[in-house]
Each structure stands twice: as C-alpha cells, then as structure tokens.
A and B are shown apart, each in its own frame.
Chain A
Amino acid sequence: MSEKVMLETIEWDADGFMVDNSAWTEEIGTVIAGDLGITLTDRHWIVINFSRDVFTNDGDAPTLRKITKQTDVNTKELYALFPGGAAKIAAKIAGLPKPTGCI
C-alpha cells in the first residue's frame, strides 16, 4: 500500500488526530511523521512508545512534563524532535487523541 493510500484509509478527527488509535501501527506512525516532514529516529520512538504506553494505561496521552520527567528526553530536545507544537505533533504521530493536559 502506498503511503498516500495508507493515509487515506485512516479515519481522522477534525483536528487531524486518528479516531481509532488501535488501528495504529509503527508503519502508520512513520507515514504520519513523514507527512509532517519528520523523519523518525530512535529518540522520536522513545517519546512515541512512551506516549502509547501511558495512553494504554491511563486512557490519556501524557503531558509533556510527564514525558520529560519519565524519559531521558528533555524539554529542549522534545521541541526539537517535534517542531510545530511538541504535544500535538507527538500525539498525532503516535495515533493518539489530542492531549488534554495543561502542562
């Protein structure tokens, strides 16, 4: 399946987040990232996998503060990895809903 077709088969909400997060695969994550102009590295995957773990356990995407406290990715790096709004972009790539936390 080409990348374009893959993106077209996914159901998105009004803000561009995946509606069905269980349909997410690492491949889809890579394609969403590519669509946003981001090439995923190991550092990105630390954040993505952590976010997905937290979502599975808590039902909510983690706050950036939680990510920086519980992984070795600090604030500066987090913003550099996901330019254009770290919280939103990371959640988008991880196939999670828009984060609701204020911090």
Chain B
Amino acid sequence: MADEPRKLCLIASKGSLDMVYPALILANAARMSGIETHMFFTFWGLDVVNKKKIKKINIASVGNPAFSMAPYAPWLKIPTWLGILPGMSHIATWMMNMEIKKLDFPPIPEFMEMIVDAGANVYGCKMSMDMMNLTEEDLIDGAVVLGAMEFMEISEGSNIIFI
C-alpha cells in the first residue's frame, strides 16, 4: 500500500440514471475503503444534488446504441428510433430500478444520504447553479456550493474521475 493516503475526486456531469450510479457506487466504495472522497456535481449531474430533481432521474432511451432489455431478453436489441416513443424512458428507468433494487443498491436519494453520512464531501458546481438559478437552499442536505477553482485546490494530488 502507498504511504500517502489516497484521495478520490469524482466529477459527475451527467443526469441520467445509468451515468449517475457509477459515480455514486465509486464514491461509496472509496469511503468504504477509507479513501478521502470528494464529489463535484456539475451541469446535468447537478440534478443529483438538487432536492427537487433527485427523485426524478431517468434513463435516456434515445442516443444510446447499447440500449437493450439485457436482464430480460439479452437477444432483443432495441433500435434507437424506438426510444423516441412516449414512455420508453420511464419503462427503461422502471426496469433498471427493479434490477438495482434486486442487488440491494439503494435508490438515488437514499444512496446520496448514505454517501454524505459515510463522510464524502459533496459539492454543487457554482457556475452550473448560477446558470440554473439555484442556491445552496436548493441542494440536498450535506451538499455545498463550490467553484471550479476551489475544486482545483481540493483535488490537488488526488485521483480524478470524470463521469
């Protein structure tokens, strides 16, 4: 093991379910391993720390060439044009949430609570928040506003993952 304590910074820039979970799982795994963890939520990723949006994170059914019904019918490839049908995103989200639940992973709001309780530092990107007219009041408990330059200081010497 390295002598220097490890430090992990995750930049979460996406607001779709399949892009949010990897960031949360990695942050949580880092905390479980005793690694100092910082999560910077920017652009669409900001929804994850937005009280009003955190419960409404869906899968994008359009523009994902890997989109399929893998757990139920791995052989069934869903053509991307089908993704535009009304309700497709909701159906896909519902299905994935069912699968996630089976693995005993918590839904995103509970997962974020767990990560904050586990001692990860959670930030909302100042610039994105200004752009979307949000203030710290709009953020979930435990999240604070942070500018990009401050993030540079915090992330010094750390592993950085951009999702």
Contacts and interface: CB of A to CB of B under 8 A. Distances in A.
B83 interface: no
Q: Number of contact residues on B: which range applies?
A: 10 to 19
Contacts of B104: 63, 65-66, 103
Interface stretch (B26-34, B54-62, B88-96, B122-130): B26-34
A68 to B, nearest CB: 8
Interface stretch (A24-32, A38-46, A83-91): A83-91
Contact of B34 (A64, A68, A75, A88): A88
Interface of A is mostly: helix
A102 interface: yes
A87 B32 contact: yes
Given A65-B106, A102-B25, A102-B29, A84 B117 contact: no
Contacts of B34: 83-86, 88-89
B117 A88 contact: no
Contact of A75 (B25, B33, B105, B117): B117
A88 B118 contact: no
Interface of B: 25, 28-29, 31-35, 103-106, 114, 117-119
16 contacts: A65-B114, A68-B114, A75-B117, A76-B118, A79-B118, A85-B31, A85-B33, A85-B34, A86-B118, A88-B32, A88-B33, A99-B32, A102-B25, A103-B25, A103-B28, A103-B105
